[in-house]
Amino acid sequence: MIQSLDVISINLWQMLVSLVNLVILFLLVKKFLYKPVQKMLAKRQGTIDGEYDAAKQAKEQALADQAAYEEKLKNAKQEADEVIKSAVDIANERQQEIIADARDKAQGIIRQAQSDAELEMKKAESTIKREIVDVSTLLTEKMLEREINADDHKGLIDSFIEEMGDDNDANV
């Protein structure tokens, strides 16, 4: 059996036409499909890059805001500590003033009590002196009323002492 070589033969014109068709198809695909797809991909890439940039800026802004917030919080804590310290200082000063005022009043009360006690003592001394004078006067009257011997004298002194004791008990 002999086979025919027509099937394997190379047709130059057909190859050339196929090649021209391929070039035309390539140019058409490049013009109508490749370039618009490239433009669309470039546009999408630009959008994605813009979103990444916006996200990066938002992250940087968030970090800056967080740092500012932490700084404000730190300052607020310092201010609160200063206010508390100031309040404690004012309270301590007020405490010292109240204690000093109370001491002054207590000393005034003590001085007044001492003064009153001295006055009462002087009044008591004055009263005792008056009583002594009164008793002495009575004793003198009694002595003048009668003649006194040693026993009478002793009796008068004893009665005088008893009267003094009774008067003191009555006054106390």
C-alpha pair distances (Å), 122 with each of 56, 109, 118, 129, 171: 97, 20, 6, 10, 15
> What's residue 102's pLDDT?
92
Asked if the model's pLDDT at residue 153 lies above 90, the reply is no
Distance CA 111, CA 119 (A): 12
Given a cut of 90, whether residue 9 has pLDDT beyond it is no
Classify residue 8 by its DSSP letter.
Answer: T
pTM above 0.75, yes or no: no
Residue written as tokens 């003649």? Answer: 147
Q: What digits encode the pLDDT tens for the residues 76-117?
A: 999 999 999 999 999 999 999 999 999 999 999 999 999 999
Mean confidence (pLDDT) of the chain:
85
pLDDT at 16: 93
